[in-house]
Amino acid sequence: FIPYAIALIFLAAYRIVSSLRTRRDAVWKVAGVHGETGDTNTLVLERSDGAGAFGRRRAGQFAIIRFREGRKWSEPHPFTISAAPRSSELHFTIKAAGKFTSSVPSLARGTEVMCEGPYGIFSINFEKQKKVVMIAGGVGVTPFLSLIRHAIDITADTQMILFCCNKIFGDIIAGEELK
């Protein structure tokens, strides 16, 4: 019993210290919110201390974000990072589908946002592939936007084909950029 208790104490202490360090390093600020479609916006975040852990992110990864609500943080919500990994900013392209996501357009510049991550493995070394086919629907295009933006940034020699489906033409996210 004693070895288990000691292990549990060390795990709890590690979790508490890790959580405090992560929270201190994870606070970003709203740099702006840009409309994409009628119900989709891109939230742009910046951090004066550099990108921290997000400086090592890969295309297509996601983060868990929370907005500052007075003295508390909102409930956590996961979103794909739609910016290329080399970008010093974080971009989250978010469709309004509930209270949290509908509040994105009203976020004021400078609002604190906690970003935990990056998480996930969307594509392993896509840059080394000669051809990549991507299939998305609606706001599900966001990880592919990150891949495409990254491929352009690094001038990857990869032929990329994107099939994207939307209900109407006006729902195409980053339509002009994709042209």
Q: State residue 17's pLDDT score.
A: 65
Q: Give, in degrees to the nearest 5, the angle at Cα 110 between 173 and 64.
A: 55
The answer to whether residue 66 scores a pLDDT higher than 70 is yes
* Distance (Å, whole) CA 177 – CA 153: 14
**pTM beyond cutoff 0.85:** no
Q: How far apart are CA 108 and CA 24, in angstroms?
A: 21
Q: What pLDDT, on the 0 to 100 scale, is given for residue 128?
A: 83
Specify the pLDDT at position 12.
80
Q: Look at residue 3 in the predicted model and tell me its pLDDT.
A: 84
